[in-house]
């Protein structure tokens, strides 16, 4: 198998016969399938295309007829250069087999034989050209390729046009015909052949309307066609009553046009007739129904009317005419509400009706008050719905008004009583809502006072513990460490006991330090602080714990984050506590996600937000309400005293910030810290 694929480019020719492109048009890439089994000829032909300055070509080669047919069938081929001598085929049969397999592609035979008979057979069989190897230069080859592609496109377009026209003539239900200057049929559609009772359209050739219709229709039809040819003006949409020679009667909507040759000379007429017999019959039925409808609506006491899309009356009953003080409903047609109502009320009606005509919700059983022509106020229940045609397009509206003025006064009195009752009820509900809100505020204040009292108690306790407990603990720890260093040979039980004592002393010391943190939280040293820097410093301080569990840090820290007023050391304590809590619950190789951003809160105030997320087990829902309580912890006793989050929230409260802790939907916990700028 021989394959070659390359682009060969150049500028377009100045002019190409029968083509619409000009030399200023962009160069179009032509995909060429070169069917050639001789490597030398393949190289020479490819070189010719490469050397041309008149086109852009992409060449793909095939070394056998079977390969060529398969490649061409796969698409993306514009033209085929076909050698007739191939390993699996030879002579004119090569072209015939390829052309039968892929008839839509233009083929140029590129042969080594200067055989005029063979060339004639190929061209007559559908080849676009016959070129002889060795006698063809680059310009000839490019010109032949371009003409071949263009001619094939034109042929395919013409075939498609013929197929479309034939499909139209065979399937359209309307009658189509072409006539010469003597009004003799040249061609008719299948529908018209069926109308005439012919077996095929060809039977009408040479006949006239006088052979198919009675004189009553044939004569005026002939005169109309002669007038169209004389003036060159079409006859459009004429309603005709046609009687065929067998007595059948039909109504038709006919259009006749002058039939011109390619020089524009009128050589006959052509036309189309649509059978509207059913429409004419329906018009008669419609007229009868219209009379019946008029009798019904004129007998009703309700106001019934129809308006067009400009809100002008096109129909109404006698009740509307009487209401407006007119003698006949015909006097209202063409007028609008502006002719009968005050301008303000008329504009209101117009706006409502235009909304309805735009497809808005219909007005159904809507109460409206207005004054009649004598100034008397009326109340009506009005219904207005859009009027649609057969295509569901809105063409106007239909309205019905029912006068309810007599009962309206009684209803107004009842409404007044109900309004008084509703006003009293509303005042009661408002008082109840105020009382409920006050009670909730008192509960919130009470809870805050309890929390503050707890923290204050812890602070006082911490101050005493610092002096009374911390120093003795230090002395005991030194003694235990001394005993551990001196009693090397005292036995395993002694060493284990001393180790347990040392761990217990350290836990007690940690509790004391937590109490001291709570006690000292009220003293702040505020400076302009960048939260990103605080986070990075806090990570350094817990790097040992991070390495022990091989925790991965994922940072999304905002650039140019605004500084806040904060005590940097206490802020570090906040993040260290959050980091340690996350590290303790995460598995090996866990992920600690950190994110900061500047944004606006729900009240539109600028804030700085820091988010700490882990992929640990999360916090049980029943525990979440208590996580900030002092000494509350779900961790083992040797992993914390339950004061970490208490200290965190105390510090953030002093800074005017807030913290929210919840579980992530994908697992783990999320702590969101918000600082006001």
pLDDT of 8 reads: 36
Q: Mark residue 491 as left, alpha or beta (left: phi above 0; alpha: psi -120 to 50; beta: remaining).
A: left
Residue found under tokens 């002669």: 226
**At the topology level of CATH, where does 521-676 sit?**
Heat Shock Protein 90 (3.30.565)
pLDDT tens-digit readout, 197-233: 999 999 999 999 999 999 999 999 999 999 999 999 9
With a cut of 70, say whether residue 73 has pLDDT above it. yes
Quickly list DSSP for 112-131.
Answer: S---HHHHHHHHHTT-SEEE
Q: What distances in angstroms separate CA 340 from CA 306, 316, 381, one per listed residue?
A: 16, 14, 19
- Of 101, 174, 95, 156, nearest in space to 127 by CA: 95
Centre a 10 Å sphere on the Cβ of residue 271 and count the other Cβ atoms it contains: 22
State the CATH class of domain 299-403. Answer: alpha beta
Confidence of residue 24 (pLDDT cuts 50, 70, 90): very low
Confidence of residue 53 (pLDDT cuts 50, 70, 90): low
Q: Whole-angstrom Cα distance, residue 39 to residue 5?
A: 14
pLDDT of 433 reads: 76
pLDDT of 378 reads: 80
Query: Average model confidence (pLDDT) for the chain?
Result: 83
pLDDT of 451 reads: 56
CATH number of 409-516: 1.10.287
Confidence of residue 183 (pLDDT cuts 50, 70, 90): very high
pLDDT tens-digit readout, 652-663: 888 889 999 999
Confidence of residue 512 (pLDDT cuts 50, 70, 90): low
Confidence of residue 79 (pLDDT cuts 50, 70, 90): very high
Do 299-403 and 172-275 fall under one CATH topology? Answer: yes
Low-confidence winner among 117-131, 151-165, 267-281, 549-563 (lowest mean pLDDT): 151-165
Q: What angle do CA 345, 348, 349 make, to 5 degrees?
A: 90
Confidence of residue 664 (pLDDT cuts 50, 70, 90): very high
Domain ranges of the chain: 5-166, 172-275, 299-403, 409-516, 521-676
Instruction: Evaluate whether the domain defined by 172-275 bears CATH number 3.30.450.20.
Output: yes
CATH superfamily of 5-166: Response regulator (3.40.50.2300)
Give the mean model confidence (pLDDT) for residues 362-366: 85
């Amino acid at each position: 198998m021989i394959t070659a694929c390359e682009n060969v480019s150049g500028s377009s020719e100045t002019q190409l016969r029968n083509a619409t492109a000009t030399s200023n048009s962009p160069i179009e890439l032509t995909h060429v399938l070169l069917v050639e089994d001789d490597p030398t000829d393949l190289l020479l032909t490819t070189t010719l295309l490469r050397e041309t300055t008149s086109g852009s070509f992409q060449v793909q080669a095939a070394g056998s007829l079977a390969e060529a047919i398969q490649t061409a069938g796969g698409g993306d081929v514009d033209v085929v250069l076909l050698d007739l001598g191939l390993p699996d085929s030879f002579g004119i049969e090569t072209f015939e087999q390829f052309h039968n397999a892929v008839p839509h592609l233009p083929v140029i035979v590129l042969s080594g034989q200067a055989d005029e008979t063979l060339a004639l057979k190929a061209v007559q069989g559908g080849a676009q050209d016959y070129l002889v190897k060795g006698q063809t230069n680059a310009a000839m080859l490019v010109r032949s390729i371009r003409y071949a592609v263009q001619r094939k496109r034109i042929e395919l377009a013409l075939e498609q046009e013929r197929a479309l026209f034939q499909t139209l003539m065979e399937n359209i239900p309307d009658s189509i015909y072409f006539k010469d200057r003597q009004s003799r049929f040249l061609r008719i559609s299948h529908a018209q052949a069926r109308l005439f009772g012919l077996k095929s359209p060809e039977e009408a050739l040479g006949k006239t309307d006088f052979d198919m219709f009675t004189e009553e229709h044939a004569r005026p039809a002939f005169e109309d066609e002669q007038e169209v040819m004389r003036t060159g003006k079409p006859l459009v949409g004429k309603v005709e009553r046609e009687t065929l020679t067998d007595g059948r009667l039909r109504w038709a909507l006919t259009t006749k046009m002058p039939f011109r040759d390619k020089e524009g000379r009128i050589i006959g007429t052509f036309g189309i007739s649509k059978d509207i017999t059913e429409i004419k019959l329906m018009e008669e039925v419609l007229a009868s129904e219209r009379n019946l409808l008029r009798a019904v609506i004129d007998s009703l006491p309700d106001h019934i009317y129809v308006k067009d899309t400009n809100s002008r009356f096109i129909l109404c009953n006698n009740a509307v005419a009487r209401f407006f003080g007119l003698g006949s409903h015909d006097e209202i047609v063409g007028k609008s509400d502006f002719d009968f109502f005050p301008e303000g009320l008329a504009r209101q009606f117009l706006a409502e009706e235009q909304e309805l005509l735009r497809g808005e919700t219909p007005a159904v059983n809507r109460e409206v008050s207005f004054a009649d022509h004598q100034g008397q106020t009326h109340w009506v229940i009005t219904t207005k719905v859009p009027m649609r045609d057969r295509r569901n397009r809105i063409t106007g509206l239909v309205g019905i008004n029912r006068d309810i003025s007599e009962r309206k006064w009684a209803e107004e009195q009842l409404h007044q009583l109900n309004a008084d009752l509703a006003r009293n009820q509303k005042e009661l509900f408002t008082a109840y809502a105020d009382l409920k809100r006050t009670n909730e505020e008192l509960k919130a204040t009470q809870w805050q006072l309890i929390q503050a009292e707890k923290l204050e108690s812890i602070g006082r306790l911490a101050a005493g513990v610092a002096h009374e407990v911390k120093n003795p603990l230090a002395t005991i720890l030194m003694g235990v460490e001394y005993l551990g260093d001196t009693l090397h040979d005292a036995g395993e039980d002694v060493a284990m006991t001393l180790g347990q004592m040392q761990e217990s002393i350290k836990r007690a010391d940690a509790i004391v330090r937590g109490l001291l943190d709570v006690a000292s939280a009220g003293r702040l040293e505020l400076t302009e602080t960048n939260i990103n820097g605080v986070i990075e410093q806090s990570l350094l301080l817990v790097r040992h714990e991070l390495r022990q569990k091989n925790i991965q840090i994922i940072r999304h820290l905002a650039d140019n984050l605004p500084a806040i007023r904060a005590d940097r050391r206490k802020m570090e304590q906040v993040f260290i506590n959050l980091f340690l809590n996350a590290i303790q619950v995460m598995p090996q190789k866990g992920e600690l996600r950190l994110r900061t951003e500047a944004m606006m809160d729900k009240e539109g105030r600028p804030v700085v937000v820091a988010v700490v997320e882990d992929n640990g087990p999360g916090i049980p829902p029943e525990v979440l309400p208590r996580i900030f309580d002092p000494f509350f912890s779900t961790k083992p006793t040797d992993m914390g005293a339950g004061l970490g989050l208490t200290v965190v929230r105390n510090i953030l409260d002093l800074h005017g910030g807030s913290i929210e802790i919840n579980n992530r939907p994908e697992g783990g916990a999320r702590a969101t810290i918000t600082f006001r700028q």
